Structure 1
Amino acid sequence: MTDAESTGEPGPDRGWDGAELDLEAYLARIGHAGDRSPTEATLRALHRAHVLGVPFENLEIVLGRPVPLDLPALQDKIVRRARGGYCFEHARLFAAALERLGFGVGGLTSRVGMGSGRVRPATHAVLRVETAETAETGRVWICDVGFGGSPLEPLELADGARTSGDGWEFRLERTATPLGATAEAEEWTLHERRGAGEDWSDLHAFTLNPQYAIDWAVGNHYVSTHPRSPFVRRPIVQRTGPDVRQALYGATWVTTARADGSRLTRELKPREVPEVLGDVFGIGLDAADAEALAGAVERLPADGPVGVPAG
């Protein structure tokens, strides 16, 4: 038995490099100045601060660059340069921060459905988190900080669990999915309520099979390079606020209101995209990247569909 196994600590390939994190810089980046103890209250505050503070974006792929998931690269991009990222980047950085603060952190992957009814590859990263209270209460939490339209708060891993941070409503549902004629596996589906009615839409579904950084590296490669991935075709940028959710799909800018789910859509000129990224999404690009991005948007098919992000 190794030391890691005997103490219950993760082995070198199963952890999240929390010791390497510049914690002060990360907390300043998301605007968290509160308690740091590994409690449920702290987890809620950190989750909310991260979702509100760090946008979802795939711009590196559109600009023809790789998406590294090592912690130094993520700190440079998201913390130092105040950029965003997509699910693997968000979850990897958030996992390191939680691990550094003393939470118990495990990785999971999920299949994005968005109401399609289709089985898509497991290309979305979420976290299973234990707090200081878990040993006594048994309560475990799902943190989903990198979906784009993410919940503002974690959800308890319990059938029917709900969260409604600032009116954005989500719930978890436990189901059984067939493994064959006689076997079944437990599956959890995250739903979001759209608008003021009871119209719930399934977003993504996951099992509790543990995933490690190396597993996410494989999924990240697929999402960032496969020709059928929606992330290699056009910019996809999202940011959730207390009252509105902003999204950019290519040159289509969509604003969704929390209260009633109403949507306002505007078509941008390619040269307007970098300006909107800065003013609305808080993503600043240098002149060369702004020019390259505008050119990439200009080359997009005029009638291209608004696809479903996969992570």
Structure 2
Amino acid sequence: MTTPADPTYTWLGEELDLDAYLARIGFAGDRTPTLATLRALVRAHTTAIPFENLEIILGRGIALDLETVQDKLIRRRRGGYCYENVTLFAAALERLGFEFTAMSGRVTRGATTLRPATHSLLRVATADDDRHWLCDVGYGAGPLEPVELAPDRGEFRAGAWRFRLDRQLDAVGGELWTLYQFGKDGFVDRHTFATTPQYRVDFAVGNHFVSTSPRSPFTMRPFVQRFHADVHHQLDGTTWTTDYPDGTDEVRELEAGELPKVLAEVFDIELDEADAARLIRADWPAARGRGGLAT
């Protein structure tokens, strides 16, 4: 008789409404745990579900239980930040039979000071390939596809977007990876991560800090992203930036009253009348610059 797995080590894939999730991201392909399926899932998820922290700004906070996550991201067609996206994607991978390990990363964005490990990622293996793949569906800016975790990976393209992946060793000889992304300032380090396994309970701790601490930028102002194959939109407070794969960008300052309309038309996030009014009236500080994210 097989001993049931401790559910605290799982991602509760059996509780996921898989059909609804796949419909939400527009995936109609093969449901076997192959590399082709993984590539299609990553592309579909990253380009279908926006990144957002609006529940925090609206005073409701972020819950990571799977029922709440799938109600928000699937049924209500809202977005989420890294912990929510990875919780949902991990449940789908588990349900489909993929082998994977969750990991934590430190968002750097060119910072020279040590940042907390408050970003979530996945290291995935497939049934038809012996390599391991980085799946970063919760950052809000791609990559559009899984990235091979190879020491000599170097520069690569995911669609039209340019990245670089480097591996070094940490202080005790473990793997320490850095993902760079190309933009108007050239290649800038986006985040570092180690391959130490993480679990739902670890993400709960990080999520608590990110969603409640006054030191977290996500408790300070709205931060929303919408990523497509050819354009990336970012809303930081009232600053709306549109980035393109060639490194060019466009920046526009919005009035608070414009936010609900822009969220609906650009970011695919429709707030009801009460939430739209609450967002406009919210007493949150102005954006503190594009380099201030903790996750």
2:109–2:291 Cα contact (<8 Å) kept: no
Query: Aligned to 1:188, which of 167, 177, 181?
Result: 177
Q: Does 1:32 align with 2:27?
A: yes
1:273–1:294 Cα contact (<8 Å) kept: yes
2:260–2:271 Cα contact (<8 Å) kept: yes
Match of 1:3 in 2: 3
How far apart are 1:163 and its partner, in Å? 4.4
Matches within 5 A, 1:247-286: 247-258=234-245, 260-286=246-272
Match of 2:60 in 1: 65
Task: Name stretches of at least 5 consecutive residues in structure 1 with no aligned partner.
Answer: 5-9
Match of 1:246 in 2: 233
Matches within 5 A, 1:281-296: 281-296=267-282
2:238–2:286 Cα contact (<8 Å) kept: no
1:106–1:128 Cα contact (<8 Å) kept: yes
Q: Aligned partners of 1:26 and 1:302: how far apart in 2?
A: 35
Query: Secondary structure of the equivalent of 2:70?
Result: helix
Q: Does 1:104 align with 2:99?
A: yes
How far apart are 1:90 and its partner, in Å? 0.4
Q: Does 1:150 align with 2:139?
A: no
1:151–1:163 Cα contact (<8 Å) kept: no
One-letter code aligned to 1:287:
E
Q: Aligned partners of 2:187 and 2:256: how far apart in 1?
A: 34
Query: Aligned to 2:187, which of 185, 200, 210?
Result: 200
Q: Which moved more, 1:110-119 or 1:225-234?
A: 110-119
Query: Aligned to 1:237, which of 213, 221, 224?
Result: 224
Q: Aligned partners of 1:128 and 1:170: how far apart in 2?
A: 17
Q: Aligned partners of 2:198 and 2:285: how far apart in 1?
A: 37
1:160–1:171 Cα contact (<8 Å) kept: no
How far apart are 1:105 and its partner, in Å? 2.1
Taking structure 1 as reference, are residues 71 and 184 closer, same or farther at Cα in structure 2, changes over 3 Å only? same
Match of 1:7 in 2: none
One-letter code aligned to 1:247:
Q
Task: Name stretches of at least 5 consecutive residues in structure 2 with no aligned partner.
Answer: none
Match of 1:308 in 2: 292
2:221–2:285 Cα contact (<8 Å) kept: no
Q: TM-score, normalised by structure 1?
A: 0.90
1:253–1:268 Cα contact (<8 Å) kept: yes
How far apart are 1:300 and its partner, in Å? 3.9
Query: Secondary structure of the equivalent of 1:120?
Result: coil
1:153–1:163 Cα contact (<8 Å) kept: no
Aligned length: 294
1:154–1:163 Cα contact (<8 Å) kept: no
2:237–2:287 Cα contact (<8 Å) kept: no
Query: Secondary structure of the equivalent of 1:13?
Result: helix
2:103–2:122 Cα contact (<8 Å) kept: yes
Q: Aligned partners of 2:200 and 2:287: how far apart in 1?
A: 37
Q: TM-score, normalised by structure 2?
A: 0.95
One-letter code aligned to 2:253:
E
Q: Aligned partners of 1:97 and 1:209: how far apart in 2?
A: 21
Query: Secondary structure of the equivalent of 2:140?
Result: coil
Q: Aligned partners of 1:304 and 1:164: how far apart in 2?
A: 30
Q: Aligned partners of 2:33 and 2:148: how far apart in 1?
A: 15
How far apart are 1:242 and its partner, in Å? 1.5
One-letter code aligned to 1:172:
L
Query: Secondary structure of the equivalent of 1:211?
Result: coil
| Cα-Cα RMSD | 1.7
One-letter code aligned to 1:204:
H
Q: Does 1:20 align with 2:7?
A: no
Q: Aligned partners of 1:255 and 1:205: how far apart in 2?
A: 24
Q: Aligned partners of 2:140 and 2:237: how far apart in 1?
A: 15
